[in-house]
Structure 1
Amino acid sequence: MLITMLTTGSRGDTQPYIALGLALKKKGHRVRIAASESFRDFVEQYGLEYSLIRGDVNKIAQSELAKDAGKADNPLKFFKSLKKEEFKQLFLEMQQDMYQACLGADAIVYHPGATLGYFAAQELKIPSILATPFPMTPTRAYPNLLFYNRPSFGKLYNKLTHRIFEQGFWMISGGQVKQFWKNQFGMVPRKFSNPFPKQRTATHPTLISLSPSVFPRPDDWSEHVHCDGYWFLEPDRSYNPPQELQDFLDAGKPPVYVGFGSISGQAQASETTAIVIEALKRSGQRGIIAKGWGGMERPDELDKDILFIDGAPHDWLFPRMAAVVHHGGAGTTAEGLRSGVPSLIIPFTNDQFAWGQRVHELGAGAKAIPRKQLNSSNLAEAIRHTQTDEVKAKAQALGSRIRFEQGAEASAQAVIDCIETYHRKGK
């Protein structure tokens, strides 16, 4: 069978689908991944088919438009920022590419930002599978991630926040799906409405890349919502670190990793770097600082106990660290937890605050420090906290459980079961 996957967003949004795709390929199926042109080589290096979604996500992430969205400090601002006219035009162009990727497929697996997948599957008479890299299915157990670090008002409120999130995501993409469909077919799709609540049946399930050791599976979820572990790529056994990196690791005790990707931006780069270097000195730790896309800036003079790198595979680097300090993207958080070393999250926006709080609740890291409150003193104190015996033990135990889970394999089987059920029922 040919299974099309529709992805949107950054590398962290794309990588889990490659892992899921590889699990399906191992079971004998073809997998086509539609992703930003930035990730063509990334997809094809794993032997999966690539389908173009126009737009370089790296350039988009550095645009003023994306930076404005990243500054949103509450859910309403976040959704409003993504409804700007410039985003609307970009999203409309993406619909055409996504639909082309669906042609000829036996099933469609789609990211929550690619809701066209549901309607394309309906049109092509094939099953659709919602595959999300974060929990979004309504539950009374905990609030949606965009609301997670805010005051909670009980179980009904928790469930309401998930419904608000679902509707907000639908508001972002629904208009573009509707416009594309009118342009393509001269009408709106049949039964045109928010698809997320419809993705909880045997023939239209939801898959979540999430460890039940991080968020236990709620009792009020349908059996057709699958949450069996993160979708991780297998470590690249052929990776050889640059000699400078290997020499630094061999020269002393395990260092602390610090990296914020592109999230901090060039304007804050020198300030952020100064804070980090001073905090590492105060805490008595060696450090590896990942520059990212302008997020950190190498000073002219540098202490021998600090190394700047462009980057390295997290699955190789993190287990060799004393702790990992990062912005709290879902993918980076998952890798940090899998590594079994303590984490410290410095959230900048959106769901990063939730991951920061959850890591601390699990005892696997220090209390998160929002970027706006960050200084060398509180960062040094938090780094010292990650090195306590209790935190290190809990991080190690959690990492061991996460590494034991086979999330991608379980979700791949759920996709196959869905397709078989769909055809058995004659849908």
Structure 2
Amino acid sequence: MASNGVGVSFDDCGVAVGLDDCGLAKKGLIINLETSREVGVKEGTGGSSRLEGVGYSLANSLHSSVSGSRVSASCNSLDLDVSGLKEPGSESSPNSGLEHCNSAPVRSNSSSILVKGPELSFPRSKMEKKETPKYDLKLDRLSENEKKKIIENLVKIQNDGTVEVDVARSAPVASELLELDAVDATPTDVENTVFEFSKSVPKLKIVMLVVGTRGDVQPFIAFAKRLQEFGHRVRLATHVNFRNFVKSAGVEFYPLGGDPRIMAGYMARNKGFLLAGPAEISIQRKQLKEIINSLLSACTEPDLDSGAPFKAQAIIANPPAYGHAHVAEALGVPLHIFFTMPWTPTNEFPHPLARVPQSAAYKLSYIIVDLLVWWGIRGFINDFRKRKLKLPPIAYFSTYHGSISHLPTGYMWSPSIVPKPSDWGVLVDVVGFCFLNLGTKYQPPKEFTQWIQRGTKPIYIGFGSMPLEDSKKITSIILEALKETGQRGIIDRGWGDLGSISEVPVDVYLVEDCPHDWLFPRCAAVVHHGGAGTTATGLRAGCPTTIVPFFGDQFFWGDRISAKEVGPTPIPISELNVERLSNAIRFMLEPEVKLRAMELAKQVENEDGVVAAVNAFHRHLPPELPVPPATTDEPPNLLEWLLQLIERWCCLPCTS
């Protein structure tokens, strides 16, 4: 059954406004697209625009080919008609337009923040020093208004937070968007160099830029600890909410902006980050701005506790740390992306934020989502580049709009669950799940262990960091489903305050902050939101799994669980009821489902994602790494540190 969707149009201030199915009547919904103009981009007359003194003429023929295109009224999926698409790169030719690089160069005008002295400064990728062609994409030469019209014709945001695109009458635009990915593609000669790693790796100062919930941060802690064993100094920069979590693991912490509780609430209410009501958009903008503006300090400022100097010599980041590539460009250091959900375009499955019925359009879905994200953050990014990084702004449809296709990328999931697609090149690794193994140090309350041993293995139900609009209603559904199926249950309260009841039934136990790797092996099956880390832990424990997704990649993992037949079809949180949850519990308790889950657990158990992640990071480092001075990682001189603190607060020069 088709659901209502929201088309895209713009008001006079450049705000993207939701439309009805015919694209005519405003519905009062605002899509998460940044309203501010690009820094340094001036509107020209007669449909032309200029960027940093480089002129672009209007491609009237391109606009005429897409004008009049209608957005499809069907909202069940991201609907892409790829008939008539040209082979990517078939019409590209060098000219004097905006340069589309495989890797952003180190700018000469950024010397004020470049690492100096004994600190190392590396190119951002192995391809940087190679000669790269220049491409003239017509989309880059359109005026701002013309670009907006293209998006109006292409994009519809569905009520479930995913994207629908109709390119039936806009094949030239789709061809150019696919060409963006072709420009980003790995150079043909990189395969000859990427595995030439026979050198010893010097001890480096590495910063990890991680944005998200606890489930996003946790695998990076395991990754950081293993890198430390190689002698690297690793700083994990993430939200202040996770300061104690990071430091208790023995990893250096630095605060990033943004509050994961606020962001998780925003994402849950709006089914992701692409659709938002007018009252919500300012919240999201504030969070994004805080994150972006905190990135440079995380890479260059001394440790806040010890005062030990720090200048990142390599950056590891997840994609939501928007701005990572721009900081790496300014500092001239290598950047390696790691993530728990697919972000690299592929023809084998669609973007997790898109539902695409035609396999021929899978790759295009990544480019469209990437473009929408870039459109939403471009104002913040270009302001950040200009003010803090001293770099020129980035053009609207530039291949630098946020794509990671040209960067070394590691995906933190098991290849037994999602094998590496055949069209992901040598820059991409599927390393496996990265487990922190917190359960080895966990000391459960005595009454909890006694309750577990008192009867049959229970069903775990919890939604982690996901907020709940009506926690009492969801709790009631859970209790009734457990009663109907005759099962014992463990309810994890999480951030949604699940289990808020005056009297807890004898067959139900409420927990808070219990490590999943300790708990799940003691459960018969698990029901959760589908976060990558929770999903991984459940699979390693051999637990049949029901996923109740809220937004984003949770639907992707729900589909993977169902495809492996170790769980039922995912139940979106908005559709959760007693009948569906009861049926899901019965499905998970079937012997053949448990058998498949145990077989999958054996495959996951034989993988070591943390070791593979470290190996991938080392392998993709630039080959010309100099050995840093032996004093690089020595503790700071105490007197020198005190003088630095005094200088921060004293505005007058000190005299002897």
Q: Please report how far the alpha carbon of residue 295 of structure 1 lies from its aligned counterpart in structure 2 after TM superposition.
A: 3.7
Per-residue CA shift, 1:243-284, capped at 9, x if unaligned?
Answer: 22111111111100011135252x411111111011011111
Q: Which residue of 1 aligns with 2:265?
A: 67
Query: Which of the residues 399, 410, 432 maps onto 1:229?
Result: 432
Q: Counterparts of 2:419 and 2:496 in 1: how far apart (Å)?
A: 36
Q: Counterparts of 2:502 and 2:538 in 1: how far apart (Å)?
A: 30
Read off the aligned partner of 1:337 and give its amino acid letter: L
Q: Which residue of 1 aligns with 2:342?
A: 135
- 8 Å CA contact 1:262–1:293 kept in 2: the answer is yes
- 8 Å CA contact 1:8–1:114 kept in 2: the answer is yes
Q: Please report how far the alpha carbon of residue 151 of structure 1 lies from its aligned counterpart in structure 2 after TM superposition.
A: 4.8
- 8 Å CA contact 1:207–1:411 kept in 2: the answer is yes
- 8 Å CA contact 1:136–1:165 kept in 2: the answer is no
Q: Counterparts of 1:382 and 1:131 in 2: how far apart (Å)?
A: 33
Q: Please report how far the alpha carbon of residue 418 of structure 1 lies from its aligned counterpart in structure 2 after TM superposition.
A: 2.2
Q: Which residue of 1 aligns with 2:292?
A: 95
Q: Counterparts of 1:82 and 1:21 in 2: how far apart (Å)?
A: 38
Comparing 48-57 with 66-75, greater Cα deviation is found at 66-75
Q: Which residue of 2 aligns with 1:347?
A: 549
Comparing 158-167 with 224-233, greater Cα deviation is found at 158-167
Q: Counterparts of 2:583 and 2:329 in 1: how far apart (Å)?
A: 54
Q: Please report how far the alpha carbon of residue 159 of structure 1 lies from its aligned counterpart in structure 2 after TM superposition.
A: 0.8
Q: Counterparts of 1:408 and 1:344 in 2: how far apart (Å)?
A: 26
Q: Please report how far the alpha carbon of residue 367 of structure 1 lies from its aligned counterpart in structure 2 after TM superposition.
A: 2.0
Query: Which of the residues 371, 374, 382 maps onto 1:178?
Result: 382
Read off the aligned partner of 2:293 and give its amino acid letter: Q
Q: Counterparts of 1:108 and 1:412 in 2: how far apart (Å)?
A: 13
Q: Counterparts of 1:115 and 1:151 in 2: how far apart (Å)?
A: 26
Inter-CA distance 19–340: structure 2 relative to 1 (3 Å threshold)? same
Read off the aligned partner of 1:345 and give its amino acid letter: I
Q: Which residue of 1 aligns with 2:152?
A: none
Comparing 45-54 with 277-286, greater Cα deviation is found at 45-54
Inter-CA distance 133–83: structure 2 relative to 1 (3 Å threshold)? farther
Q: Which residue of 2 aligns with 1:263?
A: 466
Where do residues 27-426 of structure 1 align in structure 2 (5 Å cutoff)? Answer: 27-58=230-261, 60-61=262-263, 67-73=265-271, 76-77=274-275, 84-103=281-300, 104-147=311-354, 150-154=355-359, 156-188=360-392, 194=400, 196-197=402-403, 199-200=405-406, 204-265=407-468, 267-421=469-623, 423=625
Read off the aligned partner of 1:8 and give its amino acid letter: V
Comparing 129-138 with 290-299, greater Cα deviation is found at 290-299
Inter-CA distance 6–256: structure 2 relative to 1 (3 Å threshold)? same
Q: CA RMSD in A?
A: 2.3
Inter-CA distance 86–183: structure 2 relative to 1 (3 Å threshold)? farther
Inter-CA distance 188–53: structure 2 relative to 1 (3 Å threshold)? same
Match of 1:35, SS state, is strand
Per-residue CA shift, 1:14-53, capped at 9, x if unaligned?
Answer: 1111111112112221111111011111111122111111
Q: Please report how far the alpha carbon of residue 372 of structure 1 lies from its aligned counterpart in structure 2 after TM superposition.
A: 2.2
Inter-CA distance 384–8: structure 2 relative to 1 (3 Å threshold)? same
Gaps of 5+ in 1: none
Q: Counterparts of 2:376 and 2:224 in 1: how far apart (Å)?
A: 26
Q: Counterparts of 1:184 and 1:364 in 2: how far apart (Å)?
A: 49
Per-residue CA shift, 1:72-126, capped at 9, x if unaligned?
Answer: 3477427x89992332233223223211121211101111012322121122121
- 8 Å CA contact 2:341–2:553 kept in 1: the answer is no
Inter-CA distance 190–128: structure 2 relative to 1 (3 Å threshold)? farther
Q: Counterparts of 2:417 and 2:229 in 1: how far apart (Å)?
A: 27
Comparing 302-311 with 33-42, greater Cα deviation is found at 302-311
Gaps of 5+ in 2: 1-203, 301-310, 627-656
Read off the aligned partner of 1:152 and give its amino acid letter: P
Inter-CA distance 198–362: structure 2 relative to 1 (3 Å threshold)? closer
Q: Counterparts of 1:180 and 1:196 in 2: how far apart (Å)?
A: 14
- 8 Å CA contact 1:95–1:176 kept in 2: the answer is yes
Q: Counterparts of 2:528 and 2:333 in 1: how far apart (Å)?
A: 40
Inter-CA distance 268–231: structure 2 relative to 1 (3 Å threshold)? same
Read off the aligned partner of 2:292 and give its amino acid letter: Q
Q: Counterparts of 1:182 and 1:396 in 2: how far apart (Å)?
A: 53
Q: Which residue of 2 aligns with 1:9?
A: 212
Per-residue CA shift, 1:165-202, capped at 9, x if unaligned?
Answer: 222333344332211222225543688753654544xx
- 8 Å CA contact 1:70–1:350 kept in 2: the answer is no
Match of 1:324, SS state, is strand
Inter-CA distance 20–151: structure 2 relative to 1 (3 Å threshold)? same
Read off the aligned partner of 1:372 and give its amino acid letter: S
Read off the aligned partner of 2:339 and give its amino acid letter: T
User: TM-score w.r.t. structure 1 length?
Assistant: 0.90
- Aligned pair count? 411
Inter-CA distance 328–415: structure 2 relative to 1 (3 Å threshold)? same
Match of 1:145, SS state, is coil
Comparing 371-380 with 37-46, greater Cα deviation is found at 371-380
Inter-CA distance 237–67: structure 2 relative to 1 (3 Å threshold)? closer
Match of 2:422, SS state, is coil
Read off the aligned partner of 1:131 and give its amino acid letter: F
Identity score, percent? 36
User: TM-score w.r.t. structure 2 length?
Assistant: 0.59
Q: Please report how far the alpha carbon of residue 380 of structure 1 lies from its aligned counterpart in structure 2 after TM superposition.
A: 1.1
- 8 Å CA contact 1:98–1:117 kept in 2: the answer is yes
Q: Counterparts of 1:130 and 1:392 in 2: how far apart (Å)?
A: 35
Q: Counterparts of 1:237 and 1:407 in 2: how far apart (Å)?
A: 18
Match of 2:514, SS state, is coil
- 8 Å CA contact 2:330–2:389 kept in 1: the answer is no
